[in-house]
Amino acid sequence: MRLPGRPSTFRRYIVAAFLLTLTFYLLPKSDTIAFLVGRKQGANKHPIDPLIRTAENEFAAKLSKSTQTLAAAAAAYRKRRGRHPPPGFDKWYEFATERDAIIVEDFWDQIYHDLEPFWGVPPARIRKDALKFDMRVQIRNGKVSTGSDWWWTQIWLKMIQTVEHLLPDMDLALNPMDEPRMMVPWEDIDEYIKKAANTKRIVNVESVVSSFSTQMLEAPQEDHSDVPPVQWEHDKHYWLIARRGCPPDSPARQAEVITDFDKPPSIASPFSLTHMKDGYVANYTLSTDFCHQPDLQGLEGIFVEPISVSTTASLIPVFGGSKLSRNNDILLPAPIYWSEEERFFGTEAAATPWASKHTSAIWRGVATGGRNRENNWRAFQRHRFAAMNSPRLLAQAVAAAQTEQPPPNFALPDKQYPLPAAARADLPGWIAKTTDIALTELACGNTGFSPSCDYTAPYFTPVKGVPMATQFTHKYLPDIDGNSFSGRYLGFLRSTSVPIKATLFREWHDARLVAWKHFVPMDGRFGDWWGILGYFLGGGGGGEKGRGEEGRDSVGEGIAEAGREWAAKVLRKEDMSVYVLRLLLEYGRVIDDKREVLGWVGDLRDEF
């Protein structure tokens, strides 16, 4: 006897199962991760879960702003920038679309952050200030040239050559150092921004001038005798320079200055609460700003003693590859990214399938970050990261904890982090099983940067470097600042591994990437490191069974794939060229005497 309703119920289950399977089949690997986090693990099972879901929503919102026509791109520009686009905007759009660039106006926010203060400086002064640098490139009649043979200059030259035919005349001063060059006092920048605000308006279409001036062509012998030399500062204690870029009422300006670095630093800090939630980075951009984090003056080498210091308090147009949040340098894509050297990118090995990788984290690096000495090395970030991943030093720290003796330069895991049982029971053994992290050279600052170092040798044993191709056979790739930004980051993003990024440096591409979607952010103190490891790797097995102990392998794979897919769309050399063209069109307007009426309004005049 057939029971009523059974076939239809059965069919409903079959249909539901089919639709679920189809959903996973149609979604890219990178998009299934939010489904896994939200549905299978339960809401807020782990503090990282809601951060991943928020990242998915943020990325979707960003993509929803993409424009498909020149008119839409121009409208988005006016809405976000408060001005007409610069002359040549139509050529920029054509250049970008011919290279399949994704056009979201937010992607170019860094350009406007960098250039806005210069709207408060007279154009003639900016042009003259650019001539104060020996290392520079010149653009004349659509051709770029340089008198510098420095390898960074030569790479930037090649980068600009891809767009030279679309640019007005200009001189670009380039920074040859790892460290950024400008730290203008906050009070001065505030005045420049106020002046810039007075120039921001949508000019009446009939008043707009659509072509750059030709002042450089018409006055090639312009008198520069009145250009004073730059006043450079060389104070080795860079924190004293850096903090002046912060607001007067900020913790960085108010806090006591640290002068004694010859003792274990204070790691657990309430200052991190501003950008963290439940122990993990929730606001990545804010986490890279040091103004609310005065304790970082004793936790980041550049604040303690950089390799070289040559900084000015004047606002001059210097272009470079990276900077701290409060530096005023103008960012270009770094030369290392354009050159695509194998030591940073690993070529074909970057595509190693996830299932073929070791379920572990790997890092190798020289003990850079600044000039480490016997009385300050405990304040350096790479020394700290290597120490907290040393089973030997961890074992000593665990034993010393019984007598409340602090580790030499790190802190043991905070109890707020839900670590796997394996980590709670045997932290040194767990780290030995899940990580392969070590310094390759100790870079002793007292002896001309010797690979060995008598004052850190008791703590660290240098090991051989590991080729990038080998590093890509591991699933998790922490990335730690050196003397400035890490040149490995783009290679990590393009790989099938998960970048775990801790940095204080800003780069050209920051507005294109979403933390917890394309990479895993880590606080600069590294206190969340063990929690991040525990979330993804669990007890070290890396499987899916018993998620709390065995990790979340598929979540890691989803982030790795999302980062790789996105980097292949927005971090190509073509995207760098598109960025540079937009940047230099804007810079060309800023240095033009008619800048307040310069613009592109072809869409409003029906000229396209």
Q: Is the pLDDT of residue 121 over 70?
A: yes
Q: Is the pLDDT of residue 548 over 50?
A: no
One-character DSSP codes across 406-424:
PPSS--PPPTTS---HHHH
Assess if residue 362 is contained within a domain: yes
**What backbone torsions phi and psi does residue 59 show, to the nearest 5 degrees?**
-65, -40
Assess if residue 73 is contained within a domain: no
For the ranges 43-52, 472-481, 501-510, 540-549, which has the lowest average pLDDT?
A: 540-549
Assess if residue 441 is contained within a domain: yes
- pLDDT average, residue stretch 246-274: 95
Sequence-ordered list of residues with C-beta below 8 angstroms from that of 291, at least 6 positions apart, any chain: 243, 245, 246, 247, 250, 251, 252, 253, 325, 326
% of the chain with per-residue pLDDT over 90: 79
| CATH number of the domain within which 437 lies | 3.40.50
Assess if residue 478 is contained within a domain: yes
Strands 498-502 and 136-140: unpaired
Confidence (pLDDT) at 544 = 43
Q: Is the pLDDT of residue 288 over 50?
A: yes
Residues in the chain: 608
Confidence (pLDDT) at 340 = 79
The amino acid at 3: L
Q: Is the pLDDT of residue 16 over 70?
A: no
CA atoms within 13 A on the CB side of 103: 23
One-character DSSP codes across 446-504:
GGTSBS--TTTTTT--------HHHHTTEEEEEEE--SSS-TTHHHHHHSSSEEEEE-S
Sequence-ordered list of residues with C-beta below 8 angstroms from that of 132, at least 6 positions apart, any chain: 173, 227, 229, 230, 316
Token pair 């790739």 in the structure block, residue: 477
Assess if residue 257 is contained within a domain: no
Assess if residue 26 is contained within a domain: no
Q: Is the pLDDT of residue 42 over 80?
A: no
Q: Give the integer Cα–Cα distance in Å for 483 and 177.
A: 10
Q: Is the pLDDT of residue 269 over 90?
A: no
Domain count, the chain: 1
Residue 249 CB burial class (10 angstroms; 0-12, 13-18, ≥19): exposed
Q: Give the integer Cα–Cα distance in Å for 176 and 199.
A: 32
Confidence (pLDDT) at 347 = 73
Q: Is the pLDDT of residue 123 over 60?
A: yes
Distances (CA, A) of 268 to 264, 291, 309, 377: 12, 17, 29, 19
Q: Is the pLDDT of residue 402 over 90?
A: no
Evaluated on CA atoms 98, 101, 102, 106, the torsion sign reads: negative
- pLDDT average, residue stretch 411-432: 91
For the ranges 377-381, 445-449, 472-476, which has the lowest average pLDDT?
A: 445-449
- pLDDT band of residue 485 (cuts 50, 70, 90) is very high
Confidence (pLDDT) at 220 = 52
Question: b/e for 542-559, b at 16 or more Cβ within 10 A?
Answer: beeeebbbbbbbbbbbbb
Tell me the two tokens of residue 608: 């396209």
Q: Is the pLDDT of residue 547 over 70?
A: no
Q: Give the integer Cα–Cα distance in Å for 484 and 450.
A: 20
Q: Is the pLDDT of residue 350 over 90?
A: no
Confidence (pLDDT) at 450 = 66
| DSSP H or E run through 404 | none
Assess if residue 306 is contained within a domain: no
Confidence (pLDDT) at 204 = 97
One-character DSSP codes across 43-82:
TTSSTHHHHHHHHHHHHHHHHTT---SHHHHHHHHHHHHS
Sequence-ordered list of residues with C-beta below 8 angstroms from that of 501, at least 6 positions apart, any chain: 479, 489, 515, 519, 520, 521, 522
Q: Give the integer Cα–Cα distance in Å for 224 and 206.
A: 35
Query: Can you name the residues that pair with 280 across neighbouring β-strands?
Result: 277
Confidence (pLDDT) at 34 = 56
Domain that holds residue 401: 343-570
Confidence (pLDDT) at 309 = 94
Tell me the two tokens of residue 183: 């730290």
Confidence (pLDDT) at 426 = 95
Q: Is the pLDDT of residue 143 over 70?
A: yes
Q: Give the integer Cα–Cα distance in Å for 283 and 292.
A: 13
Question: b/e for 105-142, b at 16 or more Cβ within 10 A?
Answer: bebbebbbbbbbbbbbbebeebbbbbebbebbbbbbee
Confidence (pLDDT) at 223 = 59
299: nearest Cα among 269, 276, 277: 269
- pLDDT band of residue 10 (cuts 50, 70, 90) is very low
Q: Give the tens place of pLDDT for each residue, 205-228.
A: 999 999 999 866 555 555 566 677
Q: Give the integer Cα–Cα distance in Å for 415 and 397.
A: 16
Confidence (pLDDT) at 301 = 97
For the ranges 237-251, 345-359, 424-438, 459-473, which has the lowest average pLDDT?
A: 345-359
Assess if residue 553 is contained within a domain: yes
Residue 52 CB burial class (10 angstroms; 0-12, 13-18, ≥19): buried
Q: Give the tens place of pLDDT for each residue, 43-86.
A: 448 999 999 999 999 999 999 999 999 999 999 999 999 999 99
Give the alpha-carbon dihedral of 62, 65, 69, 75, to 10 degrees: -130
Evaluated on CA atoms 202, 208, 212, 215, the torsion sign reads: negative
Sequence-ordered list of residues with C-beta below 8 angstroms from that of 320, at least 6 positions apart, any chain: 174, 175, 177, 180, 181, 329, 330, 331, 332
Q: Give the tens place of pLDDT for each residue, 293-311.
A: 999 999 999 999 999 999 9
What interhelical angle do 151-161 and 573-590 show, nearest 10? 90
Our measurement of the distance from residue 451's CA atom to the centroid of its chain's CA atoms, rounded to an integer in Å, reads 28
Tell me the two tokens of residue 543: 């499987």
Confidence (pLDDT) at 8 = 47
Average confidence score pLDDT of the chain: 90
Tell me the two tokens of residue 606: 């029906």
- pLDDT average, residue stretch 398-416: 90
- pLDDT average, residue stretch 547-570: 90
pTM of the predicted structure, to 2 decimals:
0.91
- pLDDT average, residue stretch 268-284: 94
- pLDDT average, residue stretch 168-175: 97
472: nearest Cα among 395, 360, 591: 360
- pLDDT band of residue 283 (cuts 50, 70, 90) is very high
For the ranges 143-152, 444-453, 586-595, which has the lowest average pLDDT?
A: 444-453
Tell me the two tokens of residue 92: 């920029």
Outline where 263-348 has alpha helix (H).
Answer: 284-287, 301-304, 335-339, 342-345
Q: Is the pLDDT of residue 386 over 50?
A: yes
**Residues 167, 591 contacting (CB under 8 angstroms):** no
Confidence (pLDDT) at 2 = 38
- pLDDT band of residue 17 (cuts 50, 70, 90) is very low
More confident residue, 439 or 32: 439
